[in-house]
Amino acid sequence: MKVSDHKNAQLIEEAKATLINNDLGGYTVPTHGLYPFQWNWDSAIVALGWLPFDEPRAWEETTSLLSAQWQTGMVPHVVFHQQSDTYFPGPDIWGVKNELDSTSITQPPVLASVIKILYEETKDRALADSQIKTIIPQLIHSHLWWYKHRDPENTGLVVSYHPWESGMDNSPAWDDALEAVPCIDWEYTRRDTSHIDASERPHKKEYDRFLYLVDFFRKMNFDDTLIYQDCPYRVNDVSIISILHRATKDLLWLCEKTGVDNEQTEYLKERLNLTASAMNKLWCAKTNMFHSFDTRSNSLCQARTSAGLLPFFAGLVNEQQATPLISVLDNWLEHSQFAISSTHPEDPNYEPQRYWRGPIWLHVNWMIMLGLKDYGFSTQAERITDGSRACIYASGFNESFHAETGARSGGADFSWTAAMGLYWLL
């Protein structure tokens, strides 16, 4: 379904206004109140939203994020550019002492894939050429960090230390792995549930463990080696692995276009091969899809989540896996007139309105859609595009959408949804 041209033009104006209103000068907050800082993968997606109407601002979104890159190469999950007491936990709890305040973890590295799009689609070539020169070394630094620090044993599969790193905070995929994490022993006041109804947010038992991990990183002095050894939560997240893989390919494409060819790019190519040869570990022949892997209990994470479809985005689905995985996806889509929900509707932990346990997230659908196109599954790619657009028609630019009704779930006036509208759907 498509709405009238008039209605579409109106939605485009609303989407632009959402970004402009969430712009705090060089970076865009996901939404005011609930998320008042710069988030890593949000900013990458948001840059795509700026692109059609303000190219310099699109690039600036990415450079402001990269300005917080750690000396190690890590690009943090949140950059606390200014103070705000509407969010918890703030910089005092994270305890990072860098020039720019940030959290001590990262988020799915979709940035290089976005930069490739910016580079290809920016009309002002002088702008693109000048930006890319400084950005490529920063991206290389970040990707080397991922592979060296998050896969020090060269298994081919990087690890994540916190559900917030996955960007899919309370996904049922993390339930068992999180259960093994102790709870913190101090009192705290959450801020999220003063903005959004608790029925749409993670439970306290999850927050208690989220915060234990935050404390743990600080106690380890943010030392990657110590954290790798002792972190009670250590997961091969299939979403991060897939996004990183695609982003590394996109980064190498950028390097080739701009004549960067050195030991580091050779190393990244080797890493791509290593990951491709390790992916079978994440395939489950019972569910016919990919799952994350808990390296502490040595077992696959049980839940069937949309992350398990992201290997399409990475080109990491082999010939034998593609057909059964497409059947899973077809069945998934039969449950809703909208798009892919974050958890499969037949999964016992599916909750259609609770954050990453059911609602539809448009940027995840966009990545799955791109992957399906690459594999030639154009019918499914179109179906996901239409269903994603239907979410915006149903309730606007929300953080996410109720998996069955398309109603608002989470925050309103949300930047990445407006960006997906502007770049992809409207």
Residues 164, 312, 350, 366: which binds ligand 9YW (CB under 6 A)?
A: 164
DSSP string, 296-354: TTTEE----BGGGGTHHHHT---HHHHHHHHHHHHHHHHT-SS--BSB-TTSTT--TTS
Residue 249 · residue 217 · CB < 8 Å: no
Q: Is 41 in the site for ligand 9YW (CB under 6 A)?
A: yes
Q: Is 161 in the site for ligand 9YW (CB under 6 A)?
A: no
Q: Is 61 in the site for ligand 9YW (CB under 6 A)?
A: no
Instruction: Tell me the number of residues near ligand 9YW by CB under 6 A.
Output: 8
**Which amino acid does the sequence have at 13?**
E
Residues 39, 59, 147, 366: which binds ligand 9YW (CB under 6 A)?
A: 39
Q: How far apart (Å, rounded) are the C-alpha atoms in residues 350 and 369?
A: 22
Q: Which stretch binds ligand 9YW (CB under 6 A): 122-130, 164-172, 250-258, 283-291?
A: 164-172
Of residues 370, 368, 365, 408, the one with CA closest to residue 388: 365
Q: Which stretch binds ligand 9YW (CB under 6 A): 39-47, 63-71, 221-229, 243-251?
A: 39-47
Q: Is 109 in the site for ligand 9YW (CB under 6 A)?
A: no
Q: Which residues lie closer than 8 Å to 283 by C-beta, 6 or more apart?
A: 289, 290, 321
Q: Which residues pair with 38 in a beta bridge?
A: 79
Q: Which of 23, 55, 169, 351 is an active site residue?
A: 169
Sheet holding 299-300, edge to edge: 235-236, 293-294, 299-300
Residue 306 · residue 345 · CB < 8 Å: no
Q: Interface mask (CB under 6 A) for ligand 9YW, residues 401-420, using x and -?
A: --------------------
Residues 23, 55, 101, 169: which binds ligand 9YW (CB under 6 A)?
A: 169
Q: Which residues pair with 35 in a beta bridge?
A: 31
Q: Which stretch binds ligand 9YW (CB under 6 A): 37-45, 112-120, 343-351, 380-388?
A: 37-45
Determine whether 176 is an active site residue: no
Closest CB 169 distance from ligand 9YW, rounded Å: 4
Q: Which residue has the tokens 């920016």?
A: 122
Determine whether 169 is an active site residue: yes
Q: Which stretch binds ligand 9YW (CB under 6 A): 33-41, 53-61, 145-153, 228-236?
A: 33-41
The residues that are catalytic are: 169, 399
